[in-house]
Amino acid sequence: MGIGGCIILIAAGGILTFATNWHAKGVNLDLVGLIMMAVGVIGLAAYVSIFKRRAIPPTRDGDVPPVVEERYYSDERYPGPRY
């Protein structure tokens, strides 16, 4: 569930809790709305915390060593320069 799904859960729960006056037999719609809002907030917090961990760049240039590629050929037929 992404940010959009969490926001939809929070909005739908808020509408059920605060903007409706429906009564269903055996179901407390106010409680269902509160549960939906709580699940949306928990999901949003989890998503943001995971996203924040992935998005942190290295703090200094020296934190990540440079990638150096070296190729060694043992074949004598290699047409490249000889060192």
Query: Cα-Cα-Cα-Cα dihedral of 31, 37, 42, 45, to 10°?
Result: -160
pLDDT in tens, 53-83: 665 565 666 566 667 888 776 666 666 665 5
Interval 3-55: pLDDT, tens:
899 999 999 999 999 998 888 899 999 999 999 999 999 999 999 888 776 65
How far is it, in rounded angstroms, from Cα 82 to Cα 76? 10
Its pTM stands at 0.61
DSSP secondary structure of 28-58: -HHHHHHHHHHHHHHHHHHHHHHHHHHH---
Q: How far apart are CA 71 and CA 61, in angstroms?
A: 26
Look at residue 9 in the predicted model and tell me its pLDDT. Answer: 94
pLDDT, position 23: 86
